[in-house]
Amino acid sequence: MTDNLQLNAEGKLKHFLTIEGLSKALLTEILDTAESFAGMSEHQVKKVPLLRGKTIVNLFFENSTRTRTTFELAATRLSADVINMNIATSATSKGESLLDTIRNLEAMFVDMFVVRHALSGAAHFIAQQTAPHISVINAGDGQHAHPTQAMLDMFTIRQIKRDFSSLRVAIIGDILHSRVARSEIQALNTLGAAEVRVIAPKTLLPAHVESLGVNVSHNLTEGLKDIDVVMMLRLQKERMSSALLPSESEYFKCFGLTEEKLKIAKPDAIVMHPGPINRGVEIDSKVADGPQSVILKQVSNGIAVRMAVMAMAMQTAPAPGRFSGIHTIPGDRHAGSLPAGGIHTIPGDRHAGSLPANGIHTIPGDKSGVA
Ligand code: CP
């Protein structure tokens, strides 16, 4: 048994609300499961039926480009039915409470909510209130947490650097208002990074920030020394209640990442940013588009990581490292590298005979379908 709302009675992921309280083993399982899905993007048909028959509702009460789209793509690739609630045209705009919205969607036999909300704790609240069979994934709540962003960033770091234990990571910018920073710090410390360093003006750091398990610098040129991973953050002006900076140009002069400043970090340092980026405010275009930038790789990896989290929360994820392969199009040049006994999604796919007895058939007219 566990008292962590995120885990079921067997200690498996049920909701994904925050990195806090999750073990290194579970975070590693998410990364390993995502690894199983990562290659799918190169296939012509990018689908597996792991969430076939499940209904997922994207409930985004705040704007999003990357998170909402990659959650939708991930759900689609898992063969779920996806509803994107348009909050602006929903009954929320007529005064319906969050709880009433949830109750009404539950009545439509929903299996999962993916929630972004301006209030910290919104996803946690829904997870507490919703029916027991429903999973809730936090797609960013206020200044609190953005756990899938942290995990796709961990995935990207592991892909390039392999091992966390020797890594020094700098998180630079508006730490105070950043849910991404909080989740990154928790994930990096849980996965055993050698050092997490935050670099920011005093006005953009939370009180007692050291208690989060970080070293602090207020000087970018000093703070970048020996750094392997440079994570830039946007100034979250929409969350600033007062003027915390003299001006954006002053901020860029002191804390903006330029090619010259990046040279202070290790020569093979990578540059990350969760997006959206503000060119000329926290990062120079030459760095954002330069050879050390992995910003778009982060976006791509969001699909595999979100597939992993959704499949794990629905208890349908393949065992890490034992994924039975994804057969897409006969003749697909990637198919030969996949192990046998995979999952077939193409009508008329001649590999169908190799499906396991309890397999999932999607071929019209196939008489050997699921018993
Ligand atoms: N990184 C991130 O959350 O981006 P979006 O706001 O576009 O989803």
pTM of the model: 0.85
Average pLDDT (87-97) is: 82
What pLDDT digit, counting tens, does each position of 180-238 carry? Answer: 999 999 999 999 999 999 999 999 999 999 999 999 999 999 999 999 999 999 998 77
Spatial contact of 46 and 332, defined as CB atoms under 8 Å apart: no
352: pLDDT strictly greater than 70? no
Question: Residue 275 Cα, ligand 1 centroid: separation in angstroms?
Answer: 6
Q: Which of 59, 60, 65 to mutate to test the pocket of ligand 1 (most atoms within 8 A of CB)?
A: 65
Which residue's C-alpha comes closest to atom 5 of ligand 1?
A: 64
How far away, in angstroms, is 169 Cα from ligand 1 center?
A: 21
What's the CA-to-centroid distance between 22 and ligand 1, angstroms?
Answer: 23
351 alpha carbon – ligand 1 mean position (Å): 39
Percent of the chain past pLDDT 90, that is, above it, reads: 75
Local structure of residue 139 (DSSP, 8 states): E
CA distance 16 to 138: 6
Closest-CA residue, ligand 1 atom 6, reads 64
Ligand 1 contact, 149 CB (< 6 A): yes
364 preceded by cis ω (within 30°)?
A: no
The residue among 35, 32, 36, 29 whose CA lies nearest residue 11 is 29
Distance 299 CA to ligand 1 centre (A): 9
E strand or H helix at 306, and its extent?
helix 295-313
Give the DSSP H or E segment for 33: helix 24-38
Token pair 């209030």 is found at: 119
Q: How many angstroms separate the Cα of 43 from the Cα of each of 12, 301, 327? A: 30, 15, 9
**Ligand 1 atom with minimal separation from the 139 CA:** 3
Q: Is the CB of 190 under 6 A from ligand 1?
A: no
For the CA of 69, the nearest atom of ligand 1: 8
Residue 69 in contact with ligand 1 by CB distance below 6 A: no
Question: What value does the CA radius of gyration of the chain take, rounded to a whole number of Å?
Answer: 22
Cβ contact 201:223 at 8 Å: no
* CA pair distance 312, 259, nearest whole angstrom: 40
Amino acid, single-letter form, for residue 74: A
* 235-249 pLDDT, tens digit each: 987 777 666 777 888
From residue 182, how far is each of 145, 211, 316 by CA, in Å? 6, 12, 29
For residue 93, what pLDDT band results from cuts at 50, 70 and 90?
confident
Is the pLDDT assigned to residue 326 strictly greater than 90?
no
Residue 148 in contact with ligand 1 by CB distance below 6 A: no
